[in-house]
Chains A and B, each alone.
Chain A
């Protein structure tokens, strides 16, 4: 078994936290894990991408080869499109947030970006931000997206919930509850 995830977003969206969360759940389940992220200059409001590889054997490359990703988890729709060549033609799935972050002038037309995602063979697109806001904290949009992809991962939803609790416990009960709710709402939408 191997499962490769690209987590794509913009600096400050919490993509790296989701990567750590999934990795911890995979480790607890006894899998091997390799995770690669980009630090430094590109973090200042630029593109942020993490590669997460899960397998039940020794993983070699720290990054995912093109055509080998099972899932793109995109916290921003334009960022979803950027990594399409990494997605497996046969099994690849895009789970993307609907809300664009238009922080630069050359950003293409939003409708065009969304239409491009809807042209893909396998996609899920959701308004994670609104769902998260209703769940109690707009910052939980990243966890809502994770919920929407939960059934695709080689992990039990309960083990992800547990990691969410652990991860946010330092930030207080309200934060834990909002994130769990966002996760469950994401699952209800798609990942049940």
Chain B
């Protein structure tokens, strides 16, 4: 009897609890958000299994951003306890500084970084592949193919991290994060004791200390490669085709394997499954010596394919994303893998004969953002020249009809920096629009730049008390402190306006925006009203 039905995210969270994790840190981001949500929902249960003195020292916390989350986790590791940080793929860019440098320190308590990539961009601005960043950092990367493996790999990753004194990156993708399946769990472990690292020079990356750490890391990396190689599963079967799979690609391959066998006299392709990086070479070489063609099935970038193409003793065709047999963009599917295996599609109904336009996402009915953008549009209506930069969150939907109110959405906090930059070089009426959560995440430092240089800039902070897009998680600071915070950053009190993001305040809001547009300096207009999803959540609690 299977124990639980878990999504990949939930399986990972449960894996962390059963590994005796002392601290978990995260910033919300689809498709990784549910890891922390599950931890927080089950944290009291977890605490109840701990002794009195342990209970006071386990935490599962949302943080300001991925970098602060990562750094807190490093501190936990330093003092000997287990920590997990979870984030979406672009969150790792924010945490890149601690991520790369943490490869050089002497990890003490296990440190596991869970990164959820989003091939297909279901809810992201790009398709970057975290396996490549793990390689760049010289950090071992584990990649599960289903929920059960995700659970087990968290436990393995903590152990590996402690044995080799290195962080471990667990890479998942959207489908695995959000699909549910039955999993079996194992008995939990107790948290580790507090025991500070006895070798502080191994954590002090000044050149003299860092150089030997880097040489050690280069040596360790070859060890990681050998360990991954040992665990890769190679089956030499039919010679016509060798299939290399990793991650969820395995499942799409297995979905089709019977049909391939039926077409090839019951023989099955030779198969190598890889679930750890850096990439080992021996089994790939063995496979290449045995088969006359290789197909690489990997979710994300053609990472393995690029590593192996052209490296064999004899010329050997390698099919995959670079060859065009699978698409370079979007996520894999059982269908695309089927075609790459040379199988005919299943017999399906024809697509509808009428054209089916896609249904654009839009604000929830009554969302405060709608009222804010109506005010902004009205304020700019008579301006011949303006620039409206936006940021990451529900409010980016204002780029679409019927609002068409903003002109950019690049990365967390970029709205303010971009508006400031444009204004410095002559753009009139530069307006940045950012949500409260994104402002705390990466907007504040940009505002500090604007204050320091007296840039002419109008900033709209849409303060809805929550991180709405990802399902209404709490923000790191209450809205009641927003004004003081902005004053503290140096914006003049007279040019900080607190308004209500509501239809009934439309005229007041339009007038205020217009006034601030004429000010030759930094103005901040805080438009306040709660997100409806947030209110719903509060009511349910």
Interface residues of A (CB under 8 A from B): 10-11, 23, 27, 32-47, 59-68, 78-79, 81-82, 84-90, 92, 103-108, 112-113, 116, 120-121
Contacts and interface: CB of A to CB of B under 8 A. Distances in A.
Interface string B350-361: 111111111111
Given A34-B179, A41-B469, A66-B346, 19 more contacts: A10-B359, A36-B178, A41-B361, A46-B361, A60-B251, A61-B254, A61-B333, A63-B333, A65-B334, A79-B359, A81-B356, A84-B351, A87-B349, A88-B349, A89-B349, A104-B357, A104-B362, A107-B357, A108-B355
B289 to A, nearest CB: 29
Contacts of B471: 39
Contacts of A86: 348
B363 interface: yes
A66 B335 contact: yes
B255 A34 contact: no
Contacts of B180: 23, 33-36
Contacts of A32: 182
27 contacts: A33-B182, A34-B181, A35-B180, A35-B181, A36-B175, A36-B179, A39-B31, A45-B364, A47-B358, A59-B181, A61-B255, A62-B179, A63-B175, A63-B334, A67-B346, A68-B346, A79-B359, A84-B351, A84-B352, A85-B348, A88-B347, A88-B349, A89-B347, A103-B362, A106-B357, A108-B357, A112-B354
A90 B347 CA distance: 8
A47 B359 contact: yes
Contact of B5 (A11, A33, A90, A113): A33
Contacts of B348: 66-67, 84-89, 92
A62 B175 contact: yes
Q: Looking at A32, A61, A63, A68, which has the most chain B CB atoms within 10 Å of its CB? A: A61
Contacts, number: 158
B338 interface: yes
Given A44-B394, A104-B360, A60 B354 contact: no
B323 interface: no
B340 to A, nearest CB: 13
A10 B361 CA distance: 10
B265 interface: no
A83 to B, nearest CB: 9
A107 B357 CA distance: 7
B345 interface: yes
Contact of A85 (B5, B33, B334, B351): B351
A65 to B, nearest CB: 4
A62 B362 contact: no
In the complex, which of the residues A62, A88, A104 has the most CB atoms of chain B within 10 Å of its own CB atom?
A62
Nearest to A34: B181
Contact of A41 (B122, B347, B358): B122
Nearest to B402: A105
B123 interface: yes
Nearest to B34: A39
Nearest to B8: A62
B123 A44 contact: no
Interface string B240-257: 000000001001101100
A44 B251 contact: no
A37 B362 contact: no
Interface of B: 2, 5, 30-31, 33-34, 122-123, 146, 175-176, 178-182, 248, 251-252, 254-255, 333-335, 338, 345-364, 394, 397, 401, 469-471
A33 B358 contact: no
Contacts of A84: 348-352
Nearest to A40: B123
A65 B346 contact: yes
Given A23-B5, A46-B359, A62-B248, A116 B178 contact: no
Contacts of B397: 44
Which 5 A-B residue pairs are closest in the complex by CB-CB distance? A67-B346, A40-B123, A67-B348, A40-B30, A62-B179
A61 B245 CA distance: 14
A65 B338 CA distance: 9
A21 to B, nearest CB: 13
Contacts of A62: 146, 175-176, 179, 181, 248, 251
B360 A46 contact: yes
Given A66-B345, A104-B360, A27 B354 contact: no
Interface hub of A35, A42, A46, A60 (most chain B Cβ within 10 A): A60
A186 to B, nearest CB: 23
Contacts of A40: 30-31, 122-123, 469-470
A65 B175 CA distance: 14
B393 to A, nearest CB: 10
Contacts of B175: 36, 62-63
B243 to A, nearest CB: 14
A38 B34 CA distance: 13
Contacts of A27: 2, 5, 182
A121 B348 CA distance: 12
A67 B345 contact: yes
Contacts of A67: 345-349
Contacts of B182: 27, 32-33
B359 A45 contact: yes
Given A65-B333, A81-B356, A113-B354, A42 B361 contact: yes
Contact of A44 (B122, B181, B361): B361
Nearest to B123: A40
B435 to A, nearest CB: 14
Contacts of B248: 62
A60 B356 contact: no
Nearest to B333: A63
Contacts of A113: 354
Counting chain A CB atoms within 10 Å of each CB, the highest count among B335, B349, B350, B352 belongs to B349
Contacts of A23: 5, 180
B356 A82 contact: yes
A61 B349 contact: no
